[in-house]
Amino acid sequence: MPETHVLSVESVVSISEAASLLLSGEVIAFPTDTVYGLGAHSQRLEGIQRLYELKGRSRHKAIALLLGSVCELATVATDIPEIAWRLAERFWPGPLTLVLPKARQLLDAVTAGGPTVAVRVPNRPWVLELISTVGAALAATSANLSGRTEAVTAEGVLEVFAGQIPMLLDGGRCPGGVPSTVVDVTVSPVLIRRQGAQLAEVESFLKELV
């Protein structure tokens, strides 16, 4: 069985080695501000396909994108409504995912052929540095088998994916431990598709905007 190399996120070579793997179409695991994730380059079809295989995920379910900053939103989405910018300004970086009309250049494999894309900016500086080094959004999903509990430690990831991914970046226990709240702004009124982290704050903010 191939070995999964475990590197600390504090390692001086972790970002460059992780970026190199992503650019070559590989999938790696890493901690975010919510849970551990599996990530691939958003423009590498082989990486996206591998994500689905590893998760045992239905090809009819889209994969979310992680951005390096709110400034990158227009590179993956189009017809962005004002309420999306307001939510992004308030909660990014952080555990809020927005569902938006997708940009034409996105791979259909990312969006499962649908018209929308789910995006967020994670609140972990080193993840943002990784995205910047790769030079593109990361397609990311929680590091667990579909329908199973999300992993919040590196050990939890290895229990499932040891030998199946080339690299795991270890950042200790994830501080959040709860998936992001998902808000769909393609419908009116906007709809909370998944109740997750900072749910009460998101609901309160949405009420203020009405």
Q: Render pLDDT for 77-116 as a digit per residue (tens, 0 to 9).
A: 999 999 999 999 999 999 999 999 999 999 999 999 999 9
What's the token pair of residue 81?
Answer: 């409504």
Query: Would the pLDDT of 68 be above 80?
Result: yes
pLDDT given for residue 12 in this prediction: 82
Task: Give the count of domains, the chain.
Answer: 1
Domain that holds residue 151: 5-209
Query: Would the pLDDT of 203 be above 90?
Result: yes
CA distances from 167 to 127, 151, 152 (A): 15, 16, 16
Read off the CATH number of the domain in which 132 is found.
Answer: 3.90.870.10
Question: What number is the average pLDDT over the span 27-49?
Answer: 97
pLDDT given for residue 88 in this prediction: 97
What's the token pair of residue 102?
Answer: 């997708």
pLDDT given for residue 78 in this prediction: 97
Closest CA to 54 of 183, 151, 124, 153: 151
Query: Would the pLDDT of 1 be above 60?
Result: no
pLDDT band at 210 (very low <50, low <70, confident <90, very high): confident
CA distances from 86 to 74, 92, 98, 132, 182 (A): 14, 10, 11, 23, 15
pLDDT given for residue 128 in this prediction: 96
Phi, psi of 53 (to 5 degrees): -65, -45
145 touches 159 (CB < 8 A): no
Question: What number is the average pLDDT over the span 154-170?
Answer: 97
Report the alpha-carbon distance of residue 25 to residue 12 in Å, rounded: 22
